[in-house]
Amino acid sequence: MDKKIIVEALNKLKEHKKRSFSQSFDLIVNLKDIDLKKTENQVDFFAQTPNGTGKKVTVCALVDQELAEEAKKACDEVILIDDFQKYGKNKKIAKKLARKYDYFLAQGNLMGQVATNFGRALGPKGKMPNPKAGCIVNPKSNLNQLHETLQRTIRVSARTAPIIQCLLGKETMELEKVAENAASLYEQIIHHLPNEESNIKSAMVKLTMSPPIKIK
User: What value does the mean pLDDT take over residues 145-168?
Assistant: 96
pLDDT at 71 over 90: yes
What is the pLDDT at residue 16?
A: 84
pLDDT at 186 over 90: yes
User: What value does the mean pLDDT take over residues 146-155?
Assistant: 96
Residue intervals in the chain for CATH 3.30.190.20: 3-54+152-210
The partner residues of 61 in beta bridges, in order of sequence, read: 78, 105
What is the pLDDT at residue 20?
A: 86
C-beta neighbour count of 191 within 10 angstroms: 9
User: What value does the mean pLDDT take over residues 104-108?
Assistant: 97
Domain covering 59-150, topology: Rossmann fold (3.40.50)
Sign of the dihedral through C-alpha 136, 142, 147, 149: negative
CATH number of the 3-54+152-210 domain: 3.30.190.20
Residue intervals in the chain for CATH 3.40.50.790: 59-150
User: What value does the mean pLDDT take over residues 34-52?
Assistant: 95
In our burial notation (b when 16+ CB lie closer than 10 A, e otherwise), range 66-95 reads ebeebbeebbbebbebeebeebbeeeeebb
Grade residue 17 by pLDDT with cuts at 50, 70 and 90.
confident
C-beta neighbour count of 127 within 10 angstroms: 20
Contact (CB, 8 A) for 56 and 169: no
Whether this prediction's pTM lies above 0.85 is answered by yes
